[in-house]
Chain A
Amino acid sequence: MIYLDHAAATPVSKKALKAMEPYFSDDFFNPSAAYLPAKKVAADYENAKNVIAHAIGAKGTDIVITAGATEANNLAFSFLDKGSVLYLETEHDSVRKVAESYGGQPIGVDKNGRILIDDLKAKMTDDVMLVSVALCNNEIGTIQPLSEIAAYLREVKMDRLARGVKRPVYLHSDASQAMNLLNVNIARLGVDLLTINSAKVYGPKGVGALYVSRDVKLSPVTLGGGQEKGLRSGTENVPGVIGFSVAVNEAYEHLNGNRKKYAELKRILLSELEGYELVNKKHTLDNFVVICYNGIDAERLIFLLEDKGVYVSTGAACAASKGVKSHVLKAIGLSDSEIAGSLRLTLGETNTKEQIHEAARLINEAANIERRRNG
């Protein structure tokens, strides 16, 4: 198997899996229970939260654990009024759909998928309370200049105060795809809300977290026993959070090594593949390779390659399964036929150089089969 879809899911690391095990059986207690063994579990849980929070430069008490990034993104919008949000038009559906439900306005991107700051400025009004821009795009890996956006929002705040406008404005970012390759730090990015995701950093699925700065007053999406400071009721997912913390730590430790490794694998891939155009040329994560075969239906390549044990994707896994054309590729100006011909290859820990040579050969072969069929 050659897995080239690490943006869709990552395997749980051995260390993380091992760390989780006891919390399914021996240490299964409800952290809210009164007796000592339960209190020990509660302490382990809080420690794990601290580890996760430290990785982004926050404290454990600043993050809310959720059942994945989608839920974290939903929670991040929970304090808004109608029409008070701006979001990047290339956001993942878990931001886009929520923003749309609040009557949000999309901000445009350039051909590399980077935010058009002027468009953000043009759409900024005193009604806007939240701007949501993902740190890295999930389809093409574009890295956004978040600190630049944060600096602009500080100007907006100051201008509002000078005019006696009390309404605050916050910055939210979904950093789900970023933590394997970037040092994600809330202070440096200047965000007020940040979503992170265990499933993309070799931790278990169904666990995510939202960093919430103290200024932001969220409304809980789920009510109940008051866990997570009342913002996310429900018995704590102890093994999930333990696994997440171990995975986050590993990602942090491997950061520099990963960058070198992926840059090299990407170089091999791009030099050995034939007859393609690179879609994500600039400002992109090193493990994202999006290529376009004009005139070929890339979805057919997925099915040809799966027979050879090579797993690739045409875009966001969720979007592809709904049969919807990628809004991201459209936003960066690709034509319908270019979108149909685009393949997303995302590299990860499971990949070796040998695999990448082999993958390039098999992808070339599949593309040739389709070219011949088209005549």
Chain B
Amino acid sequence: MDSFLELALRGKSPSLTNSKKLSISPHNPSELALRGTKPTVFVGMSGGVDSSASALLLKQQGYNVKGIYMKNWSKDLPGMKCPWAEDLADAKRVAVKLGIDFEVWDFEKEYYEKVVEYMISEFKAGNTPNPDVMCNQEIKFKLFYEKAMERGADFIATGHYARVSEFEPAFPSSGLKFSSTSYTGTRTEPSLRDEPVRSVRNIRVENSNQIYDSGKAGSNSPMLMMAVDQSKDQTYFLYRISDEALSRTIFPIGGMLKKDVKKFAQENGLHNAYKKESMGVCFVGEVGMRDFLKEYIDIAPGEIQEIETGKVVGHHEGAVFYTIGQRHGLYISGNVGEINTGLPYYVVKKDLKNNIVYVSRDLNNANIWTDELKLKDIIVRDYGGKPVSDVLVRLRHLGQLMPAKLDGDTLRFEQKIKRPASGQSAVFYQDEVCLGGGIII
């Protein structure tokens, strides 16, 4: 058990064995430690293994932990069931076994207004929004954060795979450098390890009487960083959360590998170590986004045209239901006498006004490829006043990191990229720091 705790604390970094382990500003204890009270953390518990393990870690690290289940909106119709009641029971069971307080906070109304309505209106406008990004921005790291603070929390925590560090402006010239303590260990860039410039929030001293805040919230800008387990990194969904919330957020498992989180949960008798991972958007459930949307948007049959020839190759149920790049769910029938090339059609363009979906078989179709994206609602996290221009961009969760220049509201890529759907997010990184992002127009 201890070894896992240490893993979590160390972020699996081999360099941790050296003396820099305590570069977490032990000489600068927080006011909390001075008060001599255990800091209180409200942890969002979903019933899954990640948030359960997070709660356990926080308890072992000596926090006063309160578990909160956030009840979000779900559509409860026959055949469209979100398993929230089971999730709630799973979350509560873990809280009881940890002996921590547990509450259900009902954000159903707010979730519907901020996330579901937003999503439906974006789809109606022809975009493909990302509800998870919106949920984190509006619910988990806003309403949940605010209510937790009101209720006396010092921190909030979630089971996301991400990390938070704080930028200390005492070293503004050194640019992007981090405390070696949390650095992933999967890359070896010695220059980044030498000078402990940033301290990392999710690394804590385990003695319950000596918890040090890694910096004074407010005076330092928090930095969102990728998880150590890069195959699980969730920063793509988190880039829009506010600095204020970030400075008070702990991601207890951000320094662990998923397999270690699972093992840790198993070894500590958390029943949900074996639970199937939840995928996709809860309120959409198993029926899929298109069927969900049909509850809100009327079907409007229209033509599917081959973009090169203008030939009608099939019919669709409404252009709003389709996403650029989509290959499945197109009602296209082969024509008599035509040789099936074996190449699939996919959506390259939508004409909402005339309700036409354009498809192509040509992977090189100019509509698919671009080296430039226009963005709106851009967020760039200040990390010492340096302008952000050279960034690595991710266009979907766990997508490839692609080099680009950010110029105002335009991203220029070094190489052509497949055009993502409008409404999706482009998220910026430098090394392992998530600097922010924007919504693709």
Q: A residues near B, CB below 8 A?
A: 299-300, 303-304, 306-307, 321-323, 369, 373
B interface SS class: helix
Say yes or no: is B86 at the interface (Cβ < 8 Å to chain A).
yes
Chain B contacts for A322, CB-based, 8 A: 85
What are 7 inter-chain pairs, A to B, with CB distance below 8 A?
Answer: A300-B96, A300-B102, A303-B92, A306-B93, A321-B89, A323-B85, A323-B88
Contact with A along B69-111 (1 / 0, CB 8 A): 0000000000000001110110011001101011010000000
Please name all residues of chain A whose beta carbon is closer than 8 Å to the beta carbon of B86 when the two chains form the complex.
Answer: 321
- Indicate if the CB atoms of A304 and B96 lie closer than 8 Å: yes
B88 / chain A contacts, CB cutoff of 8 Å:
323
Contacts of B97 in A (CB 8 A): 303, 307
Q: How far is the CA of A321 from the CA of B81 in the complex (A)?
A: 13
Tally of contact residues, B, Cβ under 8 A: 13
Query: Do A373 and B85 have beta carbons less than 8 Å apart?
Result: no
In order of increasing CB-CB distance, the 8 nearest A-B pairs are A303-B96, A303-B93, A300-B96, A323-B85, A322-B85, A321-B85, A323-B88, A304-B96
State the CA gap A300–B104 with chains docked (Å).
13
Kindly report which residue of chain B lies nearest to residue A369, judged by CB atoms.
Answer: B99
Within 8 A of A (CB), among B11-66: none
A322 CA to B85 CA, complexed, in Å: 5
In the complex the two chains form, what is the Cα distance from A306 to B89 in whole Å?
13
Once the chains are docked, how many angstroms separate the CA of A321 from the CA of B97?
Answer: 19
Chain A residues within an 8 Å CB radius of B92 = 299-300, 303
Give chain B nearest CB distance to A57 CB in angstroms: 37
Residue of B nearest to A307 (CB): B97
Which residues of the partner chain B approach A300 to less than 8 Å between Cβ atoms? 92, 96, 102
Q: How far is the CB of A256 from chain B (nearest CB, A)?
A: 39
B224 to chain A, nearest CB (A): 33
Chain B residues with CB under 8 Å of chain A are 84-86, 88-89, 92-93, 96-97, 99, 101-102, 104
Q: Are the CB atoms of B99 and A373 closer together than 8 Å?
A: yes
Closest to B100 in A: A373
> In the complex, how many angstroms separate the beta carbon of B378 from the nearest chain A beta carbon?
40
Q: A337 to chain B: closest CB distance in Å?
A: 14
Smallest distance from the beta carbon of A94 to chain B beta carbons, Å?
A: 15
Which A residues lie within 8 Å of B85 (CB)? 321-323
Residue numbers in A under 8 Å from B96 (CB-CB): 300, 303-304
B-side contacts of A303, CB under 8 Å: 92-93, 96-97
Q: How far is the CA of A168 from the CA of B121 in the complex (A)?
A: 52
Q: For the complex, give the distance between the alpha carbons of A326 and B286 in Å.
A: 29
Distance between Cα atoms of A154 and B104 in the complex (Å): 49
**Closest CB-CB distance, B70 to chain A, in whole Å?**
13
Which residues in B have their C-beta under 8 angstroms from that of A323? 84-85, 88-89, 104
* Chain A residue at minimal CB-CB distance from B76: A322
| Supplied contacts A300-B92, A306-B93, 11 more A-B pairs, CB within 8 Å | A300-B102, A303-B96, A303-B97, A304-B96, A321-B85, A322-B85, A323-B84, A323-B85, A323-B89, A323-B104, A373-B99
Q: Name A322's closest neighbour in chain B (CB-CB).
A: B85
Whole-angstrom distance between the alpha carbons of A300 and B89 in the complex?
10
- Chain B residue numbers with a CB within 8 Å of A299 are 92
**Cα A196 to Cα B104 with chains together (Å):** 37
Q: Which of A299, A303, A369 has the most CB of B within 10 A?
A: A303
Chain A: which residue is nearest B99 at the CB level? A373
Closest approach, in angstroms, between the C-beta of B171 and any C-beta of chain A? 45
| In the bound complex, CA of A322 to CA of B104 (Å) | 13
State in angstroms the CA–CA spacing of A86 and B96 once bound together: 41
Residues of A within 8 A of B89 (CB): 321, 323
Q: Which of B88, B96, B99 has the most CB of A within 10 A?
A: B96
Q: How far is the CA of A321 from the CA of B96 in the complex (A)?
A: 17
Which residue from chain B places its CB closest to the CB of A324 in the assembled complex? B85
Give chain B nearest CB distance to A294 CB in angstroms. Answer: 18
**B231 CB to nearest A CB, Å:** 32
Minimum C-beta distance from A16 to chain B (A)? 31
Q: CB-CB < 8 A to A369: which residues of B? A: 99
Report Cα–Cα, A321/B85, bound state, in Å.
6
Which A residues touch B93, using CB under 8 A? 303, 306
A155 to B85, CA, bound (A): 46
* Interfacial chain B residues near A373, Cβ < 8 Å: 99, 101
Complex CA–CA separation, A369 to B93 (angstroms): 15
Q: What is the CA–CA distance of A300 and B102 in the complex, to the nearest angstrom?
A: 9
* Distance between Cα atoms of A101 and B275 in the complex (Å): 36
Looking at the assembled complex, report how far the CB atom of A222 sits from the nearest CB atom of chain B, in whole angstroms: 16
Roughly how many angstroms separate A303 CA and B67 CA in the complex, as a whole number? 15
What residues on A are CB-neighbors of B104 within 8 Å?
Answer: 323
A322 to B102, CA, bound (A): 17
In the complex, which residue of chain B has the Cβ closest to the Cβ of A370? B96
Give the Cβ gap from A92 to chain B, nearest Cβ, in Å: 18
Name B89's closest neighbour in chain A (CB-CB). A321
A323 CA to B84 CA, complexed, in Å: 9
Bound form: Cα–Cα A307–B99 in Å? 13
CB distance from A304 to the nearest CB of B (A): 6
B27 nearest CB across to chain A (Å):
35
Shortest CB distance B439–A (Å): 35
Bound together, the chains give a CA A36 to CA B11 distance in angstroms of 73
Q: Please give the distance in Å from A247's CB to the nearest CB on chain B.
A: 30
When distances are taken between beta carbons in the complex, the residues of chain A under 8 Å from B101 are 373
From A304, A323, A373, residue with most partner B Cβ within 10 Å: A323
Question: Closest Cβ of chain A: how far from B302's Cβ, in Å?
Answer: 38
Output the least CB separation between B91 and chain A (Å). Answer: 11
CB-based nearest A residue for B69? A323
Complex Cα spacing A299 to B89, Å: 9
> For the complex, what is the distance from the CA of A102 to the CA of B89, rounded to whole Å?
32
A322 to B86, CA, bound (A): 8
- Output the least CB separation between A161 and chain B (Å): 42
B69 CB to nearest A CB, Å:
10
Please, which residue of chain B has its CB at the minimum distance from the CB of A306? Answer: B93
Instruction: State the CA gap A55–B309 with chains docked (Å).
Output: 77
Residue of B nearest to A303 (CB): B96
